[in-house]
Amino acid sequence: MPKKEVKKAVKKDMSKYGAKDISVLEGLEPVRKRPGMYIGSTGPDGLHHLIIEIFDNSRDEAMAGFCNNIEIVLLPGNRVRVADNGRGIPVDIHPKTKVSALETVMTTLHAGGKFGEGGYEVSGGLHGVGASVVNALSTFARAEVHRDGGKYIQEYKIGQKKAAVKKIAPSKKKGTIITFEPDVSIFKEVIFDMNRLVDHMRQQAYLVKELRITVLDAREYEGKIDLEDKKGGDRVFYFKELGLEVPSKAFYFEGGLVSLISFYNETQKPVHKHIFYVEKKHEEEGKETVGVEVALQYVDDISARIVPFANNIYNSEGGMHVTGFKTALTRHLNNYAKKSKLVKEADGNFTGDDVLEGLTVVISLKMHEIQFEGQTKAKLGSTEARGAVESIFGEAFSAFLEENPDDAKAIINKVTLALRARKAAKAAKDSVLRKGALEGMMLPGKLADCQTKDPNEAEIFIVEGDSAGGSAKMGRDRRTQAILPLRGKILNVERARIDKMIASKEIKALVIALGTSIGDTFDVEKVRYKKLIIATDADVDGAHITTLLLTLFYRYFKPVIEEGYLYVAQPPLYKIKQGKKIQYVYTEEEKIAIVGTDIPEISEDQEDEVEETEGDEIPTESVGKDTKGSKGPVRDSGKKKAQKFHIQRYKGLGEMNPEELWETTMDPETRTLKQITIKDAQGADKIFDTLMGAEVAPRKAFIQNNAKLAEIDI
């Protein structure tokens, strides 16, 4: 098309673009159009966030001092009920919207007590849009309010009211009850995880002292629950009065953050007796008042656990309150060490890393005008937070050290040990990784590297033993797949410092192969492979080696997991032959589905003997597939040729020849890999402490409590 004609066409199209082409989404339409903008996703995280949003409104009532009881119930039909004994959402007419305040809160974005001067002093929630967003994404929602001597209700469907707010009965109670049913056209799968809710609510109960939170799972009680309360009663907490024996968890902690520290450290050995705690408001003229609450304790460990909250929202990436805490902690421990002469001058000053080793701390900040970096609220950005925490914590911690000299001495000794270990580790690391893996150091001799230098294409198999390594090296795709065999069980890094780790040949080889370095020089951007695949034998020893490797990656290469680079291979358990047909089976259930339950396992060295008798006629039941191809044993009272199965149980990867290893475990087209993720970092940290830490008692208790769940390969 000539240039003149193109210009005319463009001009014509531009002339058509006007006000009529601008989409205006009214009411709650934006929420249904882009739900991810409001709840993060339409997967499990977003689904559970609906409950948290309604709960947050009740919790805000508790933080304001008007509520001490919250009940969350999973109901039949994908419904959820959240009840509290707070003041109840106002039901009088709102001066701006000209409808009930309850209707305004439930159907209007950015409407709530957290925006007005007479509302909450401190609030969490999602931009103040929680109730209306949940309403918009639900096919059914019902608000029930007890206040001013009456019981009021209003029902909704995908954010639209069914009728006006009305008083249906007198009531002597106070509180708000929200019941909702998520829209299955929005959410991929509506399955609520009771354990996930319990973990979150336990944490919230620690953060709000003397608040009772009860979580109940009544999904199996179809027809036994009077949701509508047609009798017109004024009960708020149904299950107290119904007397149903439903699975439930209740949390109530008078100790608050001190109780939370004890919970985190229950599998650890404390370094000092008393848990430090302070709660105080930081008031400065011309600046916002900031509530600061900090609890901490040192334990005999080398990892740090810093758990920060702002308005009861967990900040996984920290923020200004964490910065202020670290500054004050380092300064006051250095000051006390010098003043008390507990540290030699030759040792020098403590660094930020020294004072964090073995520390468990919870920092909780409460502000009215709070600012986060990004929509996820993972990082606190309010600048006032840094000075507030630095001042309040610093002053209180300095007094704690002076008033508890035995605790102070134990803490200083712990930090001094960390300082000396850091220097020893640095010297050991420098001698081994002086220039880094990619800057002059030769790659390990046992590593069979791949040809490509593009990390996006490259993958490394970390395999158990030389025999598996040999098969993997022969069967791999040399262009993209590297093989690193490890001999035996690597060092348990949960109990070792970096200097001992680097002295381990297997760990040293792995660190050099990855190219990221380790410790304070670790850089995930330098990783040489963006698929790190742990491939161990399908037995107890293989599971132990996998656990040791996962511990290493979690403690020292966590960004590798967070970036989604770490995987565990799933090799087959059985190889099943039937004539010329070969099948690889990955579970016991799959094997039974193919061969039934009456077939003995036959090792490779027995195959010739079985082949000789394969054509014999047997006058009893034969086992195999029927002519229609259905799986499982086939029963036939007549004579029939037996269809023999040859079953080989793989005890290790080394038993596979290169071709078998390739097509079952290494071929990107047919293999099965499990990606390692960190859904709950605090839970993961606790389980690593329990299973791999120095304390035997927690590990013994874990084994006793979970022994019946274990699948034992005898």
In a domain, 584, yes or no: yes
**φ, ψ (nearest 5 deg) of residue 579:** 70, -125
CB 106, CB 131: distance < 8 Å: yes
Is the same domain home to 206 and 223? yes
HEC readout, 267-327: CCCECCCCCEEEEEEECCCCCCCEEEEEEEEEECCCCCEEEEEECCEECCCCEHHHHHHHH
Give the count of beta carbons closer than 10 Å to the beta carbon of residue 604: 10
What are the contacts of 674-682 at 24+ separation with CB within 8 A?
674/567, 674/568, 674/570, 675/564, 675/566, 675/567, 676/550, 676/553, 676/561, 676/566, 676/567, 676/568, 677/561, 677/564, 678/554, 678/558, 678/561, 678/562, 680/199, 681/316, 682/264, 682/305, 682/307
Q: Give CA–CA dist 412/343, Å, rounded.
A: 8
Where is average pLDDT lowest: 120-124, 222-226, 256-260, 313-317? 120-124
Where is average pLDDT lowest: 113-122, 326-335, 480-489, 688-697? 113-122
For the domain that residue 393 is a member of, what is the CATH number?
Answer: 3.30.230.10
| 399-418 exposure pattern, b = at least 16 Cβ within 10 A, e = fewer | ebbeebeebbebbbebbbbb
Indicate the pLDDT class of residue 22, thresholds 50, 70 and 90. very low
Active-site entry in 155, 199, 466, 539: 539
Is the same domain home to 246 and 287? no
Indicate the pLDDT class of residue 637, thresholds 50, 70 and 90. very low
Q: Give CA–CA dist 131/113, Å, rounded.
A: 12
* pLDDT higher than 50, residue 563: yes
Indicate the pLDDT class of residue 706, thresholds 50, 70 and 90. low
Q: Give CA–CA dist 241/79, Å, rounded.
A: 20
The reported pLDDT for the residue numbered 363 is: 97
Q: Which of 563, 562, 535, 528 is nearest to 549 (CA)?
A: 535
In a domain, 423, yes or no: yes
For the domain that residue 233 is a member of, what is the CATH number?
Answer: 3.30.565.10
Q: Which two tokens stand for residue 61?
A: 């009532």
In a domain, 372, yes or no: yes
Is the same domain home to 404 and 282? yes
CB 259, CB 206: distance < 8 Å: yes
The domain boundary, picked from 603, 623, 649, lies at 649
Q: Which of 319, 81, 293 is nearest to 177 (CA)?
A: 81
Q: Give CA–CA dist 156/165, Å, rounded.
A: 11
- Work out the average pLDDT over 103-110: 85
* pLDDT higher than 80, residue 192: yes
Q: Does residue 464 have an active-site annotation? A: yes
Is the same domain home to 351 and 422? yes
Q: Give CA–CA dist 632/636, Å, rounded.
A: 13
Q: Which two tokens stand for residue 286?
A: 């011309």
Q: Which of 285, 284, 261, 289 is nearest to 273 (CA)?
A: 261
Q: Which two tokens stand for residue 43?
A: 């997967």
CB 242, CB 225: distance < 8 Å: yes
Is the same domain home to 331 and 286? yes
The residue type of 568 is V
The domain boundary, picked from 236, 251, 266, lies at 251
In a domain, 91, yes or no: yes
* Most trustworthy range by pLDDT among 12-16, 108-112, 670-674, 675-679: 670-674
In a domain, 284, yes or no: yes
The reported pLDDT for the residue numbered 123 is: 58
Q: How far is CA 620 from the centre of its chain?
A: 55
The reported pLDDT for the residue numbered 605 is: 44
With H, G, I as helix, E, B as strand and everything else as coil, classify residue 345.
helix
Is the same domain home to 274 and 385? yes
The reported pLDDT for the residue numbered 30 is: 81
Q: Give CA–CA dist 411/442, Å, rounded.
A: 41
Is the same domain home to 171 and 302? no
Is the same domain home to 261 and 244? no
- Work out the average pLDDT over 420-443: 61
The domain boundary, picked from 386, 414, 430, lies at 430
CB 461, CB 536: distance < 8 Å: no
* pLDDT higher than 90, residue 372: no
Could you read off the pLDDT of 275-296 as tens digits, one per residue? 999 999 999 887 888 999 999 9
**Helix axis angle, 681-692 relative to 696-706, nearest 10°?**
100
Q: Is the dihedral of CA 276, 281, 284, 286 positive or negative?
A: positive
CB 615, CB 639: distance < 8 Å: no
Is the same domain home to 207 and 266? no
HEC readout, 651-700: CCHHHCCHHHHHHHHHCCCCCCEEECCCCCHHHHHHHHHHHHCCCHHHHH
In a domain, 202, yes or no: yes
Residue-number span of the structural domain to which 348 is assigned? 257-430
- pTM, two decimals, is 0.66
Could you read off the pLDDT of 505-530 as tens digits, one per residue? 888 889 889 998 887 778 999 999 99
Is the same domain home to 208 and 307? no
With H, G, I as helix, E, B as strand and everything else as coil, classify residue 259.
helix
Q: What residues are paired with 212 via a beta bridge? A: 69
Q: Does residue 685 have an active-site annotation? A: no
Instruction: Give me the number of domains the chain comprises.
Output: 3
What's the whole-number average pLDDT of the chain?
A: 81
Where is average pLDDT lowest: 7-16, 302-311, 464-473? 7-16
Q: Give CA–CA dist 220/74, Å, rounded.
A: 10
- Work out the average pLDDT over 416-441: 64
Indicate the pLDDT class of residue 186, thresholds 50, 70 and 90. very high
**Pairing state between β 574-578 and 646-649:** antiparallel
Is the same domain home to 50 and 178? yes
CB 293, CB 257: distance < 8 Å: yes
Query: Which spans in 495-602 are helix H?
Result: 498-503, 505-514, 540-556, 558-562, 588-595
What are the contacts of 621-630 at 24+ separation with CB within 8 A?
623/595, 623/596, 623/598, 623/599, 624/578
- Work out the average pLDDT over 1-18: 49
Active-site entry in 407, 449, 494, 537: 537
In a domain, 456, yes or no: no
The reported pLDDT for the residue numbered 543 is: 84
Helix, strand, coil tally for the chain in percent (to 5):
40, 20, 40
With H, G, I as helix, E, B as strand and everything else as coil, classify residue 83.
strand
* pLDDT higher than 90, residue 604: no
Q: In the Cβ-directed half-sphere of 357, how many Cα atoms lie within 13 Å?
A: 23
The reported pLDDT for the residue numbered 251 is: 93
Is the same domain home to 220 and 271? no
Q: Does residue 539 have an active-site annotation? A: yes
The reported pLDDT for the residue numbered 288 is: 84
Q: Give CA–CA dist 474/483, Å, rounded.
A: 10
Tell the burial category of 651 from Cβ atoms under 10 Å away from its Cβ (0-12, 13-18, 19+): middle
The structure tokens 């709960």 sit at 55
* pLDDT higher than 70, residue 398: yes
Q: Which of 604, 600, 590 is nearest to 644 (CA)?
A: 600
Q: Does residue 228 have an active-site annotation? A: no
Q: Is the dihedral of CA 35, 39, 43, 44 positive or negative?
A: negative
Q: What residues are paired with 487 via a beta bridge? A: none
The reported pLDDT for the residue numbered 636 is: 44
DSSP state of 422: H
Q: Which two tokens stand for residue 592?
A: 């039974």
The reported pLDDT for the residue numbered 422 is: 81
Q: Give CA–CA dist 295/546, Å, rounded.
A: 35
Q: In the Cβ-directed half-sphere of 251, how many Cα atoms lie within 13 Å?
A: 23
The reported pLDDT for the residue numbered 230 is: 46
The structure tokens 């991929």 sit at 188
Altogether, the residues listed in the chain come to a count of 714
The reported pLDDT for the residue numbered 149 is: 92
The reported pLDDT for the residue numbered 489 is: 83
In a domain, 209, yes or no: yes
